[in-house]
């Protein structure tokens, strides 16, 4: 049951990151359209590139900050899943009086498997967060390059 909740949580985080990427891309296109509709901005490309660079830097900082928060949340969730699995295995140990029964061995194997999968899922999700952050930063850099030329 707990692993299922963890998977739902990871799915939610993935959707959140995809939504963030979409919104940042939409904002970038809005910025580009706003600058082209302003004839004074076209006449002075130096001021234009300074504004884009400053706004782009702020968006990149925000993306890095949000990615750090998401990774912290993912790590906390994985730790909670692991602690819960360990507690459940300990409860089985106590109820079986540490006699090495089949149920006790199975509980320990299950706890180890849950901990391993939680670590793998957390690592995979953290990598996806990093990849999304890198795409956002790359997009912002490309936009800044377009306006600096």
**Could you read off the pLDDT of 53-67 as tens digits, one per residue?**
677 778 778 888 888
Question: Which residue range forms the structural domain that includes residue 137?
Answer: 2-144
User: For residue 149, is it within any domain?
Assistant: no
For 36, residues 6+ apart whose C-beta sits below 8 A from its C-beta are 42
CA angle 57, 126, 120 (to 5 degrees): 170
Band the pLDDT of 9: cuts 50, 70, 90: confident
Among the residue ranges 39-53, 54-68, 103-117, the one predicted with the least confidence is: 39-53
Domain membership of residue 75 (yes or no) is: yes
CA distance 19 to 86: 35
Decide if 62 is inside a domain: yes
Mean pLDDT value across residues 104-126 = 87
Long-range contacts of 101-106 (CB under 8 A, 24+ apart): none
Number of domains in the chain: 1
């Amino acid at each position: 049951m707990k692993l299922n909740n963890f998977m739902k949580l990871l799915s939610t985080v993935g959707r959140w990151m995809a939504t963030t990427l979409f919104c940042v891309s939409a904002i970038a296109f809005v910025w580009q359209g706003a600058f082209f509709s302003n004839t004074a901005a076209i006449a002075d490309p130096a001021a234009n590139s300074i504004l884009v660079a400053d706004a782009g830097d702020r968006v990149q900082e925000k993306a890095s900050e949000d990615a750090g928060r998401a990774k912290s949340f993912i790590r906390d969730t994985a730790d909670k899943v692991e602690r819960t699995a360990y507690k459940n295995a300990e409860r089985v140990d106590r109820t079986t009086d540490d006699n090495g029964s089949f149920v006790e061995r199975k509980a320990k194997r299950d706890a180890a498997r849950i901990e391993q999968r939680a670590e793998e899922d957390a690592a995979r999700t953290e990598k996806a967060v990093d990849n999304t952050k890198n795409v956002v930063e790359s997009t912002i850099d490309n936009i800044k390059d377009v306006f600096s030329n």
